[in-house]
A and B are shown apart, each in its own frame.
Chain A
Amino acid sequence: MTDFPSLTPQTRTYTPGSFAVRRSRVLSGDEAAVRKNNAAVGHSLSLTFVSSTTTVQNSIFSHYAIQNRFLPFDLPSTITDGGGLSFPANYQWIYAAPPEVTFAPGNIQVRVQLELVAPYDI
């Protein structure tokens, strides 16, 4: 397992996990809800890295080439610094989608989407 590169993102979008819930509407318009699990799943992080060189891009793509959507990994603290974020113990991240790059001379933006998954053995 290789941790995500120790980079500092320019922007970060976080969506907390949600519980599996079955919501059923009754005739009056009210809703009955049944929660089906105790753990929130589906935490997601979207990160944008901006750099003037291809160094950041290369480190992310090298990491993605190994991990892909298959191998889970941990995040270094530089990714979540200042966000006050906490996640379930032993959960790890996978790539939700391939990283995307917008390339302009002197301005390279790399967008990464990550998804938190429950621990599992491979």
Chain B
Amino acid sequence: MTTFPTLYPDSITFDHGLPQVSEYAAFGVGPIRFRNSNLVNSQVFTLEYQNIQQSSVDLIRDHYIQNQGTAGSFAVPSSIFGGINLLDANSRYKYAETPTEQHFGVYFSLSVTLQALEGVDTLSILNGGSATLPSEESFSSIAFEGTAPFILNGSSSVLATMTLNAS
């Protein structure tokens, strides 16, 4: 798997992807929705590069060819997305379409559209971290709402051990 060149775009446009949900409906029944994975995928990022040099254009052009166009998947350095922090570091991407170059004498502008294959994991993870066990107090709240499973992650810390009391 290749890695997208570390070139910082001038602007980024993106959407928040789609959950992998299919829907069943029949006469008098439904709609019934099935969640097929925990991931929200297919986020589409449009990276705009303005007034870059030919050497930078060559990097993306070569990567596009090396990646077999829109066929292959690749990693994208998270630094390219700046502070968006939308997807996991191990997410994979594909070219959604062929990049388009604009040539203006010495400088070039470039538009690249990427599509995430592995997006955001929607599992709810409660991490106890390193907190010490607090004193007991009355508590009443609906902790979870949505689609199971929810994972309680007590981590490896002794102080953060999680106790589930069935009584």
B99 lies within 8 A of A19 (CB) = no
Q: How large is the interface on A (under 10, 10 to 19, 20 to 34, 35 or more residues)?
A: 20 to 34
Question: Cα distance A21–B95 when bound, in Å?
Answer: 12
A82 lies within 8 A of B105 (CB) = yes
B114 to chain A, nearest CB (A): 13
A13 lies within 8 A of B102 (CB) = yes
Q: How large is the interface on B (under 10, 10 to 19, 20 to 34, 35 or more residues)?
A: 20 to 34
A35 lies within 8 A of B68 (CB) = yes
Within 8 A of A (CB), among B100-147: 100-106, 117-119
Interface-facing stretch out of B24-32, B34-42, B74-82: B34-42
What chain B residues lie within 8 Å of A84 (beta carbons)?
54, 57-58
On whether A16 and B70 interact (CB within 8 A), knowing A31-B117, A84-B54, the answer reads: no
Q: Which of these, A21, A30, A35, A82, contacts B103 with CB under 8 Å?
A: A82
Q: Chain B interface secondary structure, helix, strand, loop or mixed?
A: mixed
Question: Cα distance A16–B99 when bound, in Å?
Answer: 7
What chain B residues lie within 8 Å of A29 (beta carbons)?
18, 20, 36-37, 39-42, 117-119
Question: Cα distance A120–B67 when bound, in Å?
Answer: 28
Question: Cα distance A83–B73 when bound, in Å?
Answer: 27
Task: Assess whether A11 is interfacial by the CB under 8 Å rule.
Answer: yes
A-B contacts, 25 of them at CB < 8 A, read A11-B104, A13-B103, A16-B61, A16-B64, A16-B98, A17-B69, A17-B98, A18-B69, A19-B68, A19-B70, A28-B36, A28-B37, A29-B37, A29-B40, A29-B42, A29-B119, A30-B41, A30-B118, A31-B73, A31-B117, A33-B72, A33-B73, A40-B69, A42-B98, A83-B54
